[in-house]
Structure 1
Amino acid sequence: MRGRRIAAGLAIGLAVGGFALDRWIDTADLPPLEAPFSTVVTDAEGAPLRVFLAADDRWRLPVGAERVDAGFLVQLIAYEDRRFWSHPGVDPLALARAALDSLLAGRIVSGGSTLTMQVARLIDGGGTGQWRGKLRQIRLALALERRLSKAEILQIYLTRAPYGGNIEGVRAASMSWFGKDAHRLSPGEAALLVALPQAPEARRPDRAPLVAERARNGVLARAAALGVLDPTVLPHAMAEPVPRRRTPFPEHAWHLAGRAVAEDPAAPVHRLPVDLKMQIGLEHVLAAAAGRLPPGVSAAGIVIDHRSGRLVAHAGAALPGATARGGFIDMSRAVRSPGSALKPFVYALAFADGRAHPETRLEDRPTDFGGYAPVNFDGGYRGAVSAREALQLSLNVPAVALLDEIGPARLTAFLRRAGAVPRTAGDAAPGLAAALGGLGLSLEDLARLYAVLARGGVDGGGDRLLGAAAAWQVSDILRGAPVPGLAPSGRIAFKTGTSYGYRDAWAIGHDGAHVVAIWAGRPDAAAVPGLSGFETAAPLMFEVFARIEGGLVPLPPPPSDVLLVSHAELPAPLRQLGPVRRPAKADAVPLALVYPPDGAVLVLSGRGAAARLVAKVQDGRAPFTWMVDGAVVPWDPMARSFVWTPDGPGHVTVTVLDRFGHAARAGVELRLD
């Protein structure tokens, strides 16, 4: 009877004790589990480009077990907490051993802490050198196990474990000590990252490398003894050198990353479309150039895959983030004079409007355009030259003559449709000087414009802005331009530009896949004697092209409707621009397109061959030459009506020329019913 009473009492005591223990655990107030993370900007594949300090000035990166090297996790569990996946937060065996060791020593010499208990200490911030601190740690650990999964507890450890200084978490530690992410670690690297959190300051490799090495080797030896590390690997792992200094966190795409964070500061991760390898290549080219450029001169660069419109690499300065050479200023967005870099678009519009052809003769002579008298860069003149030669030699008078033909408003309207934002002083209407850089554009604007040219006249959204024939003709001319030094000839269509006063040097080019745009100059816009697009920027552009993986991609063949003829074979009105084309005969009657009206939006009925554009000419003298987007369309030269079947919707320019060189044209938007 007495035995039953004792048993009943024990049962009641255990029940009451269990209830009290449950309540003790359940009523534990957990400290905040979240900590501010560093903002991470990555490339298209998730590789870190730039990392920003967390709000509490610590390097702390989000990471889960799936993004950590498996060998690290195996060594961590084996060394710190072999029964992590099975215990309730506290390992009684480990605690008993620690209690015995401490009792014999008269002080705490071994904590017996599980990973969960270490997480409790990390989130609580209290010490464990006294029994009261250890008891609170046990209570929090038991509470954590009831409220979180093992995976969630492990994730907190992986992101909060201390690694010396202001570094927390295995991912930040791997970047700081090894210069790489934590998903691929050697056995020696993994062991060092297991050992450091136990004494993060005493074992810091940059301050106590021998202490760090001994601690690492202790982890390796334990892992080999427990059978989680191949013994044959042990000597090699112990021979791995311990890093003697911290590696700076990545700061690639400095300006672009900063822009992304400024636009959405609350986002923990920003993914940019750039490619890390190409980004590093661009930055190396510009940084090396900084050592050769005159004092105060910087450079910026952009690489675009024009096939997809993807921004592959971006550098806003030669030394981003540095005080020297204006490294804090994003020169890819600075509005500067493009010099001659706009000339290709003057030619392209003239070709598209049927006003000129690559073999059209232009006059390079002293010319006064209503009080504006441009001169060439070298002060000389070449006389009669083809449009091809004039653009390849970047002659100024022919470019202004062509702009005089199409009108500055036509050029600026095209620039805006292509996504550029041209600026003029006081927002005044641009004049003929626009052909030579008399308006402001940014490097991003020019890269976007040359991508339209590289895509055959189509913008990033698929809208046609230039005729395919005109775009190809200009690119074909630019591929034949003189190249600097030993750069490859005939494989890259490019143009250089130098602004007035030697303030800006430009080089923008494309092959069959990429556009590379380079600017060089002083961020404060001061003059730099000797600065030029050809001598300064073009070599950098070719060097960047050489770093693109896969090499140069061939430029495309001509479209089927390109007029590939010699000067003598051109229609008479296209043989020469200027006074020769202006008739002096009394019977010359100016012609006009009576349909379609300029600026009209036409909805064509039918599909395929059934969708037809009809044009009609009035006055003028036959024979007539009909052109669409600068390409001659075979048609009855005596007919005053013209019918053409478009490839699809979009903007087109219809041009008709008569025997005396009169021209009439209409730009229309085609839509299909």
Structure 2
Amino acid sequence: MKLINYIKRNKIKSAIVAILLVAYYFCLPKQLFKDPTATVITSNSNELLGALIADDGQWRFPASDSIPDKFKTCILQFEDEYFYKHPGFNPISIFKALKGNLSSGSVKRGGSTITQQVIRLSRKGQSRTYFEKFKELILATRLEFRLSKAEILNLYASYAPFGGNVVGIDAASWRYFNRNASDLSWAESATLAVLPNAPSLIYPGKNQKRLLDKRNRLLKKLFENGTIDELTYKLSIEEGLPQKPYPLPQIAPHLLQKVAKKYKGERIKTTVKISLQEQANSIVKQHYNLLKQNEIYNISVLVLDVNTREVLAYVGNAPTDKAHQKSVDIIDKPRSTGSILKPFLYASMLDAGDLLPNMLVADVPTQFGSYQPENFNKSYDGAVFANEALSRSLNVPAVRMLQDFGLDRFYHYLKQLQLKDLKYNANHYGLSLVLGGAESNLWDLCKSYAAMASTLNHFNDNSSQYFTNEFVQPTYISKEPANFGKLQNEKDVFDAASIFLTFESMKQVNRPEGDDSWEYYDSSQDVAWKTGTSFGFRDAWAIGTTKNYVVGVWVGNADGEGRPGLVGVQTAAPILFDVFDVLPKSEWFTTPYDEMLEVNICKKSGYRASSICDETELRYIQKSGNKRAPCPFHKLVHLDNSGQFQVNSSCEAITNIENIPWFILPPLQAYYFKNKNPFYKPLPPYRNDCAEASGISMEFIYPNQQSTIFLPKDFDGNTNDLILKVAHSKPELELYWYIDSQFVGSTKDIHDMAVMPASGDHIITVMDELGNELKHKITISE
């Protein structure tokens, strides 16, 4: 009541007081410092990985949450011993400073507290007059009401000048001592503590004695007040001073650029493990020094944690030069995929039930319109197990499998993997999609391999259930955990069995030279991995996964220049396994039995065994694979007692006929298969007195599905013959060859015919002695 009565009696005074209080409350800006700050990234354990200088050219790190104890002690002892006792200004210090300055006739002493210095730093450019000092005092008291002492001290440490373009204790400790502020010695902390008072002392080669004297006086004070002992003091004063600024660490420069696009001017704690990052950098540098001799200048490496989807190492490029795009981060750049998508086709077909893990697939000369895929080694196996075709990265079986599976179906699976560089429809890529006709990037590919591994892990760890968001984006920001979604019974993209069987096949890939005896070393581990090489030797890939880690490697030239020897297994794979060697060893994936069936498999064909398959074994396949038809390559063959001839009821008593299961490939597949499989047995001939059964077949080996042929010329300019080849199920029969109804010759056993047709269209006709006929139209072009 008394206060109210007083206000009523003294309205003008009260109004003035109210106005002054409001002015006092609002006199301090909400944000003291608006200076641009450097973008800073640290490792998952807070070690500095790199920094980008602030826009105003200052090395000014974002304000820190804490100050190292040594520096805090030094700065308080040097600048403001009564910091924790005054309300923002120290009357005794002000009086002493005023008295000294008046007696000398000039400003010799400041008398400002740390709080006042924070205000002065925030009001940069203001003249140092007594009136300005008064305003600083008022603002300092207001600051004391707003912030705690610790927060004020942090602001001072973050924005105090340390000479040149260095601002703040964090930047200063790295620029002058090349280490974290928390790792500084007493002498180093004392050196930095005296610099804000006279930042010009730090210039290399100048004022060294003045700086040394100031530092040593502070160290002596610390010794005298018992902060440091005598031995520490004596050792500290023997330490030298910094001579020139160090460059800031650039351990993950391309990740820094990536972070700066979204978090410019912030301090970001990443998921990167600094020891692994440094090891990866070293590995890349070693291989770069070798590869650049072949004019291969760019390398990128990405390491992911499968279980958390965190980025553990990020090497965006090799330590090359500006002329070879040193600053380009290739991890997220689209490049031709080569064969790196083949495992996805294999997994897709397994998942859909169109393939069994080691089912025979055709590997013969193939042409689809004008597109004619070839294996890397230019040879053919005739027929090869699907898992072997994947582990050997055979191109022809992959394209034939894609044709059988359906281009649109496979494209749908790839879109589910969220490969962002698949920007066109399936027909744009055609069947070359699985051999490098599309583009992708290391980030998306590693994410997809990690998602497959994680799907398998989660299925086994969560009562055979799947997460709804397995293909979540990896994260390089600490404390941003991956959101895998909710558990459900339905798969996300691939079922666990298909993934496991795909990884089992990838585990068998032959390792690069020097690591080919890996299984004999205790330190080795199983890795599901795949290489890829783009057309023209422009891109080399290697991506591998264990239960816990995914490592991806790309090697090439950023400008797309191809180089001889730029092959995945020769250039990227050695880097891949060097990185895996420095990672913790992982156990192999657990078999997902709940998604698998144990069935009888034909050993020779890899299909589900039919009733006449002579060699079978129990093997686990994915559940969807149970819909595959039984083995089509085993047939009952009727032989006489000698087992050397086929017979039938027309020439032999039924009681003397033996019914033998026989493994029979189509003629074209058999033609190539028998060259690499000496134990393959062709069908025995019919005995002479028997009427031969139907079922004879023949196929063109060359030309095969080809319409236009260019006849080569030799060194003398003479046109070479066209060699026609046919595979016959009974090669001992004589074949008769015709071109445009004109007989040109006959063959027996080996059915190769050399001809010299004129330019233009022709019909080739082949007839065996039993009357079976084969026709093919070709065009000869010069």
Residue 513 to residue 142, structure 1, CA distance change in 2 (3 Å): closer
Residue 107 to residue 429, structure 1, CA distance change in 2 (3 Å): closer
**Is the Cα–Cα contact under 8 Å of residues 415 and 421 in structure 1 kept in the other structure?**
no
Partner of 1:538, secondary structure, is helix
> 1:156: which partner in 2?
155
**Is the Cα–Cα contact under 8 Å of residues 38 and 61 in structure 1 kept in the other structure?**
yes
Distance of 1:140 and 1:348 partners within structure 2: 68
Residue 97 to residue 411, structure 1, CA distance change in 2 (3 Å): same
Distance of 1:571 and 1:377 partners within structure 2: 24
> 1:431: which partner in 2?
430
Distance of 2:359 and 2:344 partners within structure 1: 16
Is 1:516 aligned to 2:506, yes or no? no
> 1:275: which partner in 2?
273
Is 1:497 aligned to 2:532, yes or no? yes
Which shifted more, 343-352 or 279-288? Answer: 279-288
> 2:506: which partner in 1?
478
Unaligned runs of 5+ in 2: 1-16, 457-465, 472-483, 520-524, 614-619, 634-782
Shift of 1:271: 4.4
Within 5 A, what are the aligned runs for 1:84-233? 84-99=83-98, 101-102=100-101, 107-125=106-124, 137-138=136-137, 140-142=139-141, 144-145=143-144, 148-204=147-203, 211-233=210-232
> 1:526: which partner in 2?
561
1:608-630 Cα deviation digits (max 9, x unpaired): xxxxxxxxxxxxx999xxxxxx9
Residue 631 to residue 99, structure 1, CA distance change in 2 (3 Å): same
Residue 147 to residue 519, structure 1, CA distance change in 2 (3 Å): closer
Letter in 1 for 2:71: F
> 1:631: which partner in 2?
621
Distance of 1:478 and 1:659 partners within structure 2: 24
Distance of 2:95 and 2:166 partners within structure 1: 33
Letter in 2 for 1:480: Q
Residue 210 to residue 535, structure 1, CA distance change in 2 (3 Å): farther
Residue 232 to residue 127, structure 1, CA distance change in 2 (3 Å): farther
Distance of 1:72 and 1:121 partners within structure 2: 21
Shift of 1:163: 0.4
> 1:62: which partner in 2?
62
Which shifted more, 383-392 or 256-265? Answer: 256-265
User: Aligned-residue CA RMSD in angstroms?
Assistant: 3.7
> 2:324: which partner in 1?
325
> 2:706: which partner in 1?
none
**Is the Cα–Cα contact under 8 Å of residues 453 and 475 in structure 1 kept in the other structure?**
no
Shift of 1:348: 2.1
1:355-381 Cα deviation digits (max 9, x unpaired): 333332333332334553221112223
Shift of 1:204: 3.6
> 1:543: which partner in 2?
578
Distance of 2:205 and 2:250 partners within structure 1: 21
**Is the Cα–Cα contact under 8 Å of residues 538 and 563 in structure 2 kept in the other structure?**
yes
1:442-463 Cα deviation digits (max 9, x unpaired): 1122112222332356733474
Is 1:83 aligned to 2:82, yes or no? yes
Which shifted more, 299-308 or 363-372? Answer: 363-372
Partner of 1:159, secondary structure, is helix
Q: TM-score, normalising length from structure 1?
A: 0.75
Which structure has the bigger radius of gyration? 2
Residue 527 to residue 145, structure 1, CA distance change in 2 (3 Å): same
Distance of 2:569 and 2:331 partners within structure 1: 19
**Count, aligned residues:** 571
Distance of 1:191 and 1:558 partners within structure 2: 61
1:104-126 Cα deviation digits (max 9, x unpaired): 65544333332233223322335
Within 5 A, what are the aligned runs for 1:257-336? 257-263=256-262, 265=264, 268-294=266-292, 295=295, 297-319=297-319, 323-336=322-335
Shift of 1:515: 0.5
Distance of 1:572 and 1:177 partners within structure 2: 67
Distance of 1:74 and 1:349 partners within structure 2: 64
**Is the Cα–Cα contact under 8 Å of residues 598 and 621 in structure 2 kept in the other structure?**
no
**Is the Cα–Cα contact under 8 Å of residues 301 and 552 in structure 2 kept in the other structure?**
yes
1:375-421 Cα deviation digits (max 9, x unpaired): 11122233443223322222222222222221222222111112213
> 1:657: which partner in 2?
629
Is 1:398 aligned to 2:397, yes or no? yes
Residue 79 to residue 558, structure 1, CA distance change in 2 (3 Å): same
Shift of 1:26: 5.0
**Is the Cα–Cα contact under 8 Å of residues 332 and 442 in structure 1 kept in the other structure?**
yes
Shift of 1:59: 2.3
> 2:474: which partner in 1?
none
Shift of 1:508: 0.2
Within 5 A, what are the aligned runs for 1:32-51? 33-36=32-35, 37-51=37-51
Residue 369 to residue 147, structure 1, CA distance change in 2 (3 Å): closer
Residue 149 to residue 467, structure 1, CA distance change in 2 (3 Å): closer
Partner of 1:445, secondary structure, is helix
**Is the Cα–Cα contact under 8 Å of residues 605 and 631 in structure 2 kept in the other structure?**
no
1:302-337 Cα deviation digits (max 9, x unpaired): 1111122223232322249x6242133221222221
Distance of 1:339 and 1:429 partners within structure 2: 16
Partner of 2:216, secondary structure, is helix
Distance of 1:379 and 1:660 partners within structure 2: 28
Partner of 2:367, secondary structure, is coil
Distance of 1:52 and 1:427 partners within structure 2: 42
Shift of 1:156: 2.5
Distance of 2:296 and 2:434 partners within structure 1: 28
Distance of 1:451 and 1:297 partners within structure 2: 27
Distance of 1:427 and 1:398 partners within structure 2: 19
> 1:8: which partner in 2?
none
Shift of 1:298: 0.7
**Is the Cα–Cα contact under 8 Å of residues 453 and 547 in structure 2 kept in the other structure?**
yes
Partner of 2:257, secondary structure, is helix
**Is the Cα–Cα contact under 8 Å of residues 350 and 625 in structure 2 kept in the other structure?**
no
Shift of 1:127: 7.1
Letter in 1 for 2:353: G
Unaligned runs of 5+ in 1: 1-18, 576-580, 582-620, 624-629, 634-651, 662-673
**Is the Cα–Cα contact under 8 Å of residues 407 and 431 in structure 2 kept in the other structure?**
yes
Which shifted more, 95-104 or 440-449? Answer: 95-104
Equivalent residue for 1:553, pick from 567, 581, 586: 586
**Is the Cα–Cα contact under 8 Å of residues 89 and 115 in structure 2 kept in the other structure?**
yes
Letter in 1 for 2:299: A
Which shifted more, 354-363 or 500-509? Answer: 354-363
**Is the Cα–Cα contact under 8 Å of residues 98 and 111 in structure 1 kept in the other structure?**
yes
Residue 364 to residue 426, structure 1, CA distance change in 2 (3 Å): closer
